[in-house]
Structure 1
Amino acid sequence: MMTENTTKSAGCPDAVVDAALFLAAERGWNGISLADIAAEAGVTLADMRVVAESKSAILKAFLARLDDSLWTGALPAADETPRDRLFDVVMRRFDVMQEQRAGVKAIFRGLLADPLLLLMSGPHLLKTSARMLEVSGISASGPAGALKVKGLTAIYLAVLRVWLSDDSPDMGRTMAALDRFLRGAESIAGLAWRVPGTARSAGADPGNNPA
């Protein structure tokens, strides 16, 4: 049986996820099969059936690994505004994605191009947004929390599209878009992470409104 480290709560070895990312970077997510991934990871199809019997299972493990990154960094500084803390936590996720950018881009392009797969990923995206809020010290509970979760999910997907075309090494466009959308959510939707005072800018003009 396989003894590789597994992605927390997903049961899929990191070697399998890494193999999928590598191949997706070369051929695109829709251009690879489960057998291709097994061969690249150096595992038998029998083992693959146990740990990941579909590409959707590997996708779930990949998303779980991204979620794990939310808990590995230092807690956001208490003297930051809630919006700044949220900015830092969301960017922590993009930092991890940037480490294997080509493969991650291929997977997300495949996800965004497949309405059914994107719909199936909806509940996970909502849970991810709730986790990002909670790690930022912002409650995701109750009716107000549900509104914040939905708002952050929309923001994350919008910023993800920017990240997919942001080839700058410092992710400048991505940071500016996230800052702009978070500010816009405060001024337009009045989402509850708003706190009076000046927050740290991520390269965007505080007066800008989201496009």
Structure 2
Amino acid sequence: MTNPRDRVVDATLSLAARRDFGDVSLTDIAHEAGLSLADLRDLFPSKGAILGGFSRRIDRKVLDAVADHPSTDAARDRLYDVLRRRLEALEPYRDALASIARWASRDPLMRTALNRETVNSMRFMLEAADIDCDGPVGALKLQGLAFAWDRVLDAWFKGDFTDGLSALDTEIARGERYVEHAEELSRMTKPLRDLASRLFDMGGLRSRQTADDDFPHPHA
């Protein structure tokens, strides 16, 4: 028997493919999944959480596939391969995801929440491609890749799988130039950041010393 969480995710995607996702209620989802509303509440607290569950399902599918086929190609090619696999995994849900994207475009809070999910997924996609995503430059890579992925999906929604792949190739090339500039800027500003960090630490030490002077030990 299908796992109840999977049933909820499948029901949600099925409804989104048939209707405007903004009109789909949690009650609708529970009914489609064959669950009570109380059971649904135990599994997911919101529609956004259900979409997060779907995103993690896709993450696992891609990560399992990449683990089975490790690559020694250049970083650009590794990332393209990982994200191509992700787009392939999403292909059966294209209509549903297009409906969800239209709904999110009308709701700034949901758009922000879905961006967080995308950034989290992109973190694992970069790791799967063996590309560093730590530190300030890593944060820029993650958010930049999340924005790029949104543009890839938009091309996919408007066209087909081939259009999505073409957009992916363009976005990765653009991202390479962006990351090169970011890494160069990071190297140039590292001495200033190190100096600021030392000054901050010294300021904190002086603040603690002043506090000790203002409030001497009662037995001093």
TM-score category by the smaller chain? 0.7 to 0.9
Report deviation, 1:142: 1.7
SS of match in other structure, 2:82: helix
C-alpha contact (below 8 Å) 1:77/1:85 kept by paired residues:
no
2:152 is matched with 159
2:218 is matched with none
1:69 to 61, 67, 79: 61
Could you say which structure has the higher helix fraction?
Answer: 2
2:30 is matched with 38
2:3 is matched with 5
CA distance in 2, matches of 1:90, 1:191: 23
CA distance in 2, matches of 1:164, 1:173: 9
Change (3 A) 1:69 1:191: farther
SS of match in other structure, 1:108: helix
C-alpha contact (below 8 Å) 1:148/1:191 kept by paired residues:
no
1:200 is matched with none
TM-score scaled by length of structure 2: 0.75
C-alpha contact (below 8 Å) 2:48/2:113 kept by paired residues:
no
1:125 to 2:118 alignment: yes
Report deviation, 1:192: 8.3
C-alpha contact (below 8 Å) 1:139/1:145 kept by paired residues:
yes
C-alpha contact (below 8 Å) 1:24/1:106 kept by paired residues:
yes
Q: RMSD of aligned C-alpha atoms?
A: 2.1
2:20 is matched with 28
SS of match in other structure, 2:65: coil
Report deviation, 1:152: 1.1
Q: Tell me which structure has the larger Cα radius of gyration.
A: 2
1:196 is matched with none
Q: How many residues align?
A: 182
CA distance in 2, matches of 1:177, 1:81: 19
Matches within 5 A, 1:89-100: 89-100=82-93
CA distance in 2, matches of 1:93, 1:110: 22
Name segments (4+ residues, structure 1) moved above 6 Å. Answer: none
2:165 is matched with 175
C-alpha contact (below 8 Å) 2:75/2:130 kept by paired residues:
yes
TM-score scaled by length of structure 1: 0.78
Letter of the 1:52 counterpart: F
Change (3 A) 1:58 1:78: closer
SS of match in other structure, 1:79: coil
